[in-house]
Structure 1
Amino acid sequence: YFISLIESIFFPIPTDVFLFPYILAKKKNYIKIAINITIFSVLGGVIAYFLGYFLWNIISPTLSEYYPGFIFKLNNFTNQYLEVGIILIVIGGFSPFPYKITCLGSGIIGINIFIFIFFSLVSRFLRFFLVSFFLYKYGQKTQIMIGKYINFISFIFVAFFIVYLIYL
């Protein structure tokens, strides 16, 4: 579970690499494993969020001093990010896009921490539960299928989520 925590902060190898053999070895516990990995992943995400938040507050005054117009550009970016922040959290939490970047970015921008945690929990659980369930149900074949179709599956999920938010 520790891997899922540090992967959300800095570890370059996705949790899935360790999840596959773990689920295959303990198939009956796939739901418990998915829940625990989700919790640790989101805890790591919260740490990354606060790292982004606090480090950015230290670094940004220096950047604005050396780069005129930086604050103006940052404010424009922040406004755009806040408009689609939930979508970006879900994309980062579910897709192959590195979740740690989503976490740091959310902290830098200052997305509401409760919104960040809620949508991180939802998207990370969906990702880890689906992978765990398919590994439980279909075994080793799932690893091949996920490797082949993960980008397509992620795209479909994100597209449905965006459509849902638009028509909400």
Structure 2
Amino acid sequence: MLRRLYDRVLSLSAKPSAPLWLFLLAMAEASFFPLPPDVLLIPMALAAPRRAFFFALLATLGSVLGGAVGYGIGYALFAKLAQPIIHFYHYDAAFAAFRHKFAEYGAAIILIKGLTPIPYKIVTIAAGAAGFNFWAFMGLSLITRGGRFFLEALLLRFFGESARNFIENRLGLITSLFAILLIAGFFILKYA
């Protein structure tokens, strides 16, 4: 089933409506859908390299908007479903500790996880459930998702097919290295 869905998404990249599908896929992936927008962004950028940055912008905006939906899902479902269960089992203190940790490290979590292949919906829903500041979440989402998609577009724009193969085979490594550099930057700013 997942393979058919993947093939369908790839077939969309050749259609005139592909930019709209890219936006919608990015939005859905950030809130509930399993496939990342990269599966459409990569073939679209390869087919029209001069439009790669436009496609990255669409993916970024769709992902950030979907992140707001995911945040709302986490916030609403937590209040209606999870909060009574937590209270019933007397885990109020444990959840308060989770919220405190997310408030303290949430920015780093959002920035790092937004760059990695880990589904972004996990971050968006957790941010809503933890009550992370919505506007800070939106700003961080714009930075991290834009960083990811524009980096892909840059590589695809200038390196074409060889970049595609490299990205598909080593995306986890690339984003992990970028995340390490980002964390190092935070430590340098904090302790320098």
- TM-score of the two chains, using structure 1 as the length reference: 0.94
The question of whether the paired residues in 2 share the 8 Å contact of 1:7 and 1:41 is answered with yes
CA distance in structure 1 between the partners assigned to 2:159 and 2:69 by the alignment: 34
* Residue 64 (structure 2) pairs with residue 42 (structure 1): yes
CA distance in structure 2 between the partners assigned to 1:155 and 1:64 by the alignment: 34
How far apart are 1:147 and its partner, in Å?
2.2
CA distance in structure 1 between the partners assigned to 2:138 and 2:59 by the alignment: 15
- Shift in CA distance, 125/65, structure 1 to aligned 2, threshold 3 Å: closer
User: What is the letter of the counterpart of residue 57 of structure 1?
Assistant: A
CA distance in structure 2 between the partners assigned to 1:28 and 1:155 by the alignment: 27
**1:14-72 superposed Cα distances (whole Å, 9 cap, x missing partner):** 1101111111122111111111210111000001101111111111332134312x111
Instruction: Pick the aligned partner of 2:34 from 2, 9, 12.
Output: 12
CA distance in structure 1 between the partners assigned to 2:120 and 2:129 by the alignment: 14
* Within-5 A mapping of 1:1-168: 1-68=23-90, 70-168=91-189
Q: Provide structure 2 residue ranges, at least 5 long, that are not aligned to the other structure.
A: 1-22
- Residue range with higher mean Cα deviation, 100-109 or 86-95: 86-95
- TM-score of the two chains, using structure 2 as the length reference: 0.83
CA distance in structure 1 between the partners assigned to 2:166 and 2:85 by the alignment: 45
The question of whether the paired residues in 2 share the 8 Å contact of 1:91 and 1:97 is answered with no
Larger RCO: 1 or 2 (CA < 8 Å, sep 6+): 1
**1:72-100 superposed Cα distances (whole Å, 9 cap, x missing partner):** 11011111122110111012211111111
- Residue range with higher mean Cα deviation, 120-129 or 19-28: 19-28
Equivalent pairs, count: 167
Q: Structure 1 stretches (4+) deviating beyond 2 angstroms?
A: none
CA distance in structure 2 between the partners assigned to 1:151 and 1:65 by the alignment: 38
The question of whether the paired residues in 2 share the 8 Å contact of 1:45 and 1:103 is answered with yes
